[in-house]
Amino acid sequence: MKWAKHIVFTSILVGIFQGISIAGSTNLPLEQRQVLEDSSPFNIVRTATVLSETIVALCSDLTGGLAEPAAKWEATDYIKDETLPRKRLI
């Protein structure tokens, strides 16, 4: 019975924190909203080969592997093929 009180209390706290975080993100001033909606400083990258070495090193797995968006990769910790990268570009 004691654990049930903890579950109820935790659920209430999670609900309160979610409500606070959603309320804070929906009341942005117009100039801040325009900055977030402006996508001009961003470029869409469709292949990992165009990324800089620094970005690849930051995003790759321990062996330096980073799979292309449509390529095979090991998505879980159950490794079937050691040659496949464990992370990929989305």
Q: What is the CA radius of gyration of the chain?
A: 21
Residues in the chain where the model's pLDDT stays below 70: 1-3, 6, 19-26
Percent over 70 (pLDDT), the chain = 84
Other Cβ atoms less than 10 A from the Cβ of 48: the count is 20
Dig out the tokens for 40 from the structure: 């001009």
Q: Which of 78, 44, 73, 46 is nearest to 88 (CA)?
A: 73
Please tell me the pTM assigned to this model.
0.51
